[in-house]
Chains A and B, each alone.
Chain A
Amino acid sequence: MNAQAVEHVDHDDHHHGPAKGWMRWLTTTNHKDIGSLYLWFSLIMFFIGGIMALVIRAELFQPGLQLVDPGFFNQMTTMHALVMIFLALMPAFVGLANWMIPIMIGAPDMALPRMNNWSFWILPFASIMLLSTLFVDGGAPAGGWTMYPPLVLQTGAAFPMLIFAVHLLGISSIMGSINIIATIMNMRAPGMTYMKMPLFVWTWFITAYLLIATMPVLAGAVTMLLTDKYFATSFFSAAGGGDPVMFQHIFWFFGHPEVYILILPAFGIVSQIIPTFARKQLFGYSSMVYATASIAFLSFIVWAHHMFTVGLPVSAELFFMFATMLIAVPTGVKVFNWVSTMWKGSMTFETPMLFSIGFVIMFTIGGFSGLMLALTPVDFQYHDTYFVVAHFHYVLVPGAIFSVMAAAYYWLPKWTGHMYDEKLGKFHFWMSTIFVNILFFPQHFVGLAGMPRRIPDYAVQFADFNAISSIGAFGFGLSQLLFAYIMIKAVRSGKKATDQVWDGAEGLEWTLSSPPPYHSFSTQPIVK
């Protein structure tokens, strides 16, 4: 990849190639380099989090305790969530933002290149701190990623490491978000008005605001946990006049916007890809922008739907139920817009399009189970069962993760100048789609039948569906090795991609060469 970039810019005296050697990656301030670092980092973490998931599914293959002891099982569920959310999915989206936002809005780089370098290089240290808790006294955090007190306060030596890792990850994403907002507000090419920005840029713009507004709240909450444990404060200790339920309020005030942080950029990606392969303009561009903003606003007033069973008064249960159901309206606008974009389009089904269509269908399944969970009376039954697990994995795996894969297939030829193997890509899509449904669909059934989540053992009547689910998990996990193989193969030996890559693609990034020069848009393009 870097050889390509150097070769390309050799003929142009105004451009400088990257520095030589490994120090290039440590000191780089180039948005393309940093984007690539984020993406590779996230791919590695995706596999680490995936191995943890497979430990969970292997244990749950049969009822009874076979492979790991319950304490370690709890560490796996907690770490799987933390790794996948904070180390795999969020960095993947930030990596895509780094690569794509400047070349989509005609900017030469991110607004704050040095801070960009910092945002990334905090991540490996935070992740080492978090992952090394697996080897400390008392093991890794095991109280769930939500870190509810008083349970989380029983964590051993891992506790302060968990808190400081969360702090560092928060600082990283806040710096990344400020950079993204500053880039979008100040560095758009002439003529690139807000309502002409590609939707990926729009969704990230809104996501970045969600991040700077909510990550500090999480940082505050975990700091309170830290002082409760070591400095005798009583924020969440009832004996000292505090209240553990208050942690849940503060946590979910962050936590609910966080789930939109994990899905809004996915909406943006899919809104870029579907018009390309349907060869039509995106249906309802401005309604997409307003729907995204509405979802972001609503995300701040629905947090207590995670807490229907803590003993809220009826009026609060009703308010949070209706506010939550209201989110289905802007989300529905988006789904109908994607479908309308495809309607009567000249569609072709290359791998990115397959992943995007898969996203629309399977994300919607997750959306529907979300609507069921929004209903307070039925949530009393579904709360903390596998139905919830099935719900959020449908929106996050064939939802958010599929969108990242769609993005990787869609833009990889632009990034590297090499096409991936289309046959293998399609094979990867079908394997992933079949196995992800075998993995998560049966979890709806065991959840409705009452199987609790975060439990290493279960009643025998759940055995068959759990065995099916575990088979799906291993199939899905193995399919992702194929993804890594396809990506590496494309980077190393894929056939040459054209500058346009996809014949229906529109936008500034496609006016650049494939791969783009190390420094692109040093002269601002004019957008008409």
Chain B
Amino acid sequence: MSNQTQPQRSMRSLLTKLFLVPIMMFGFGYLMVPLYDIFCDVTGLNGKTGAISEAKASQMVVNTEREIKIQFTSNINQNGSWEFRPAQSIMTVHPGKPYTTTFYARNKLNEAVTSQSIPSVTPNKAAAHFDKMECFCFTEQKFAALEEREMPVTFVVGTAVPEEVDTITLAYTLFTKK
């Protein structure tokens, strides 16, 4: 190394820096994945909802003054063959009080299939205040051939949900896992 001239050495250090940039930016591309998740969790964008323990939910003060309409909808992704619908499509709730409802699913195929449901809450500003204690979406649901089942979800709408929210929509999309 000592026989290198000054310009050679400065070229070498410049190149090291320059090659580091693309390597770091490649990593940054991957870093965007967790950053995106954190961003969505914090802002409630993307309809991401939170999970809450039953003990914590029971400590909430029920606000019987307020009524919020909850709408349930269901979608089926392209693969598989399913019947999938909410047991009741509208429910009126008080903030702070836990409620349970069910979704009905039937595997129309003559073979065992695993499903995964993904929830989404609109409007975004309500998503951060919509928490679930129990949900069929927390885990994969295995269905035997032609099996049908009612799947429960227990949720609570936080008391801090913004004043202007009077309707919240909870949508589930059912995916077939390979």
Contacts and interface: CB of A to CB of B under 8 A. Distances in A.
Q: Do A and B originate from a single complex? A: yes
Interface of A: 111-112, 174, 178, 181-182, 185-186, 212-221, 224, 235, 238-241, 243, 245-246, 249-250, 253, 313
Interface in B88-126: 116, 118, 124
B122 to A, nearest CB: 9
Given A181-B18, A213-B21, A239 B124 contact: no
Contacts of A178: 15, 18-19
A248 to B, nearest CB: 11
Central interface residue in A212, A238, A239, by most chain B CB within 10 Å: A239
B26 A217 contact: yes
Contact of A313 (B27, B45, B77): B45
A234 to B, nearest CB: 10
A182 B28 CA distance: 23
Given A213-B25, A243-B36, 10 more contacts: A178-B19, A186-B7, A212-B18, A212-B21, A215-B22, A239-B175, A240-B116, A241-B118, A246-B33, A313-B45
Given A174-B22, A216-B26, A250 B32 contact: yes
Contact of A182 (B15, B27, B176): B15
A241 B176 CA distance: 13
B29 A220 contact: yes
A419 B171 CA distance: 68
Contacts of B40: 243
Interface residues of B, number: 31
Nearest to A316: B45
Nearest to A222: B29
10 contacts: A112-B15, A182-B14, A182-B15, A216-B22, A216-B29, A217-B29, A220-B30, A224-B30, A253-B32, A313-B43
Contact of B173 (A238, A246, A250): A238
Contact of B46 (A214, A240, A243): A243
A480 B15 CA distance: 40
Contacts of A174: 22
> What is the predominant secondary structure among interface residues of chain B facing chain A?
helix
B1 interface: no
Given A238-B173, A246-B36, A313-B45, A111 B25 contact: no
Contacts of B7: 186
B18 A221 contact: no
B63 interface: no
B60 to A, nearest CB: 27
Contacts of B124: 313
B23 interface: yes
B26 A220 contact: yes
A245 to B, nearest CB: 7
Given A186-B11, A220-B29, A220-B30, A239 B21 contact: no
Nearest to B7: A186
Interface in B29-53: 29-30, 32-33, 36, 40, 43, 45-46
B7 to A, nearest CB: 7
Nearest to B174: A239
A23 B27 CA distance: 38
A214 B24 CA distance: 11
B113 to A, nearest CB: 12
A221 B116 CA distance: 25
A181 B29 CA distance: 23
Contacts of B173: 238
B177 interface: yes
A288 B72 CA distance: 56
A186 B14 CA distance: 9
A240 B115 CA distance: 11
B81 interface: no
B10 interface: yes
10 interchain residue pairs of minimum CB distance:
A220-B29, A239-B175, A216-B26, A216-B25, A217-B29, A216-B22, A178-B18, A212-B21, A239-B116, A246-B36
Contacts of A111: 11
Central interface residue in B18, B36, B116, by most chain A CB within 10 Å: B18
Contacts of B36: 243, 246, 249
